[in-house]
Structure 1
């Protein structure tokens, strides 16, 4: 099978949306995570192996990037418009950054795992789909 045929049967956008919704990128039904961020080894619905995922630090870096790019213009606008005290800005923007990071992190991690699954990265769907035995 050619690379384009392999890519066509696993749409990247759909897999990333399913992952961002915390669902299995293969079937869209089974839960992707066991808890807040722990990825299941296999989908309980379709049995797709998820232990191949290598999200590592990528979701954390992207979360920090997104939250800082959302927060910086808002911080400047609030300061110039309302001129609150520095302590109140520190408290409210710190709390806001924490809440946004906690909300975005599982979404971004799920989307990243969905992209890895769709692009057949790290053993998803390849010959080395099962972990090597030692």
Structure 2
């Protein structure tokens, strides 16, 4: 019989952490615990801990979640907008491609760190990955 290692479980008696405030703080790229310190030391590189409250952020593992959400939101918004612009003004294909390519790049660069912060906030609130 093989031994199944114990799954990490929530500690009994550990207080609940509110998810929505942690998500909002993460979207603002702030510490999910205090909301004051920044969580990034560069564009997408997380700080090992919050400079204000000392919360350990080294356990956060956002992986592909922020990229997936960025692609999903960017494609939905710009795809709908592209259809509207084409139906309304019928610009040439090169104009349409150039404008929406720049828009997609800028929107992706804006959303990616915010979604990563949001996912770190969710992980912190749910005590995932060692928080």
Question: TM-score, structure 2 length as denominator?
Answer: 0.89
Residue in structure 2 matched with residue 113 of structure 1 by the alignment: 120
Residue in structure 2 matched with residue 46 of structure 1 by the alignment: 53
Q: How does 1:93-132 map to 2 (within 5 A)?
A: 93-124=100-131
Residue in structure 2 matched with residue 72 of structure 1 by the alignment: 79
Structure 2 residue runs of 5 or longer lacking an equivalent are 1-10
Q: How does 1:16-27 map to 2 (within 5 A)?
A: 16-27=23-34
Higher helix share: 1
Give the Cα–Cα distance (whole angstroms) in 1 for the partners of residues 75 and 12 of structure 2: 41
1:28-73 Cα shifts (integer Å, max 9, x gaps) = 1111100111100011111110000010111001100000000111
Q: Does structure 1 residue 36 correspond to structure 2 residue 37?
A: no
Structure 1 residue runs of 5 or longer lacking an equivalent are 125-134
What is the CA distance between 1:2 and its match in structure 2?
4.3
1:56-114 Cα shifts (integer Å, max 9, x gaps) = 11100110000000011111110010000000000000000000000000110000000
Aligned residue-pair number: 121
Q: CA RMSD in A?
A: 1.2
Give the Cα–Cα distance (whole angstroms) in 1 for the partners of residues 114 and 31 of structure 2: 13
4+ long deviations beyond 3 Å: none
